[in-house]
Amino acid sequence: MSILVTLPEDLISEILLRLPVKSLQRFKCVSKSWYAHIIDSRFMLKHFVSSNNHELLLISHVKPAKRQLLSLISSETFDIKNKHFQLSFPSSNEENRSFAHILGPCNGIFCVFDAKDGAISLWNPANRQLKNLPRSYVKPPLDAYTFDLCVGFGFDDERNEYKVLAFKHMCLPSSSTIAHAELYTLSTNKWKEIDVGEEFQPTGNLPCSSSSPSIDGIFSWFEIDNHVQKVIFSFNMKNEVFTKTQLPYYNGIPSKRVHGCLASLKNNLAFIHDYPLAGVSKSFDVWVLGEYGVRESWMKQLTIGPVVGVAAPLGLWKNGELLLEHAERNLVSYNPITQDMKDLQARGFINVLQVLPYKESLVCLQEAEEINHNREVIPFSVSECEDENSLQIPSSSNSLNSENNSSAV
């Protein structure tokens, strides 16, 4: 080891860049200089960008016993790894147990939230870190009869900041709907209010899901505008400004009935439209947005199908394959060139399957501030298991509050 320590610093850096996260976590103990180098934010980002060999897919699917399971699968062969994680938000009533909504990743970090309770956490599976965000201070009006939460997650590369958007819908007895937005910044561990404006007061909420991508710091999701129109809301994490974009023109089809998902295609926002809504086969139009806020900038890239036996699109993969939810509740990939369909052996409830890209990251969540132990913060639980058939749902007292309690990839 002493030979490596005496090597030029640039050469040591190049060697470290080629190592996986697990090895780098151990090598922090080699010397103070290595420790400082590995935890440097610039090295972390450079390592993440250069480590293409560790790219994986993270699959989230729900088992019949109300269990939410994450599985790692190879991005090249789509073979499922033998590593599984189970997520759950603790609840005194098992029947009311909430499923975790998972967003991201941004540089290997996931945002996990409970739309019912409002609990939000950031999670890095690679270095076993979980950070439970403090509660936002905005409470719904006393006369509000529903309270919906849409969460956005993104990275501001100009300020090297991870940010979380909480977009809340409050419905009043007068049947009016008001929206309120807050923005969390990881480095300060604080929330601040964001002006929503009259133009971005939706009349209906479509919950965020894996079909809510963050591209170059811009997070996008579906909303209902003017009671009849499905639109895309986008929030720029850099300038902290909202944008509203209408869906592509479809003759004779009201936008509220246009079905599909949002995805990333070559670092651009894409809309995958699937049709018809009913039937044994579906076709897919893939559109790419040229400029946020400009409906005329949508460009249709290709039409795929009809494909028999699929229920809904889940996203696009780097080789141009479509990831689809099959009518039999399993995950499949479809190659539009060869028209081959492959069963990826992941199953769950209809409309609950999620597909998220994943790559290991060194990003540290706990250096900004230790995990908040405030009793009002209800953390979610992560348990690691090798055998998905013997999963045990963790209790609230077993939630992750330190690096030693969390799960690693």
Q: What is the pLDDT of residue 369?
A: 39
Q: What is the pLDDT of residue 219?
A: 94
Least confident of 35-49, 112-126, 244-258, 292-306: 244-258
Mean pLDDT of the chain: 75
Percent of all residues in the chain with a pLDDT value above 70, rounded to a whole number = 69
pLDDT digits (tens, 9 = 90+) for 215-261: 999 999 888 776 667 889 999 999 999 999 999 987 666 666 778 88
**Token pair of 310 as six digits:** 């699929």
Residue 406 has pLDDT above 70, yes or no: no
**Token pair of 49 as six digits:** 């960008």
Q: What is the pLDDT of residue 58?
A: 67
Q: What is the pLDDT of residue 376?
A: 35
DSSP 303-318: EEEEEETEEEEEEE-T
pLDDT digits (tens, 9 = 90+) for 15-46: 888 888 888 888 888 888 888 888 888 888 88
* Residues 63 and 49: beta-carbon distance below 8 Å: no
* Residues 107 and 5: beta-carbon distance below 8 Å: no
Q: CA 168 to CA 179: how far, in whole Å?
A: 5
Name residue, tokens 């909202």: 242
CB neighbours of residue 273 within 10 Å = 20
- Left (φ > 0), alpha (ψ -120 to 50) or beta: where does 96 sit? alpha
Specify which of 2-11, 157-166, 381-390 reaches the highest per-range mean pLDDT.
157-166
> Domains in the chain, ordered, with CATH?
39-405 (2.120.10.30)
Q: What is the pLDDT of residue 336?
A: 85
Residue 106 has pLDDT above 60, yes or no: yes
CA distances from 85 to 92, 377, 391 (A): 22, 22, 9
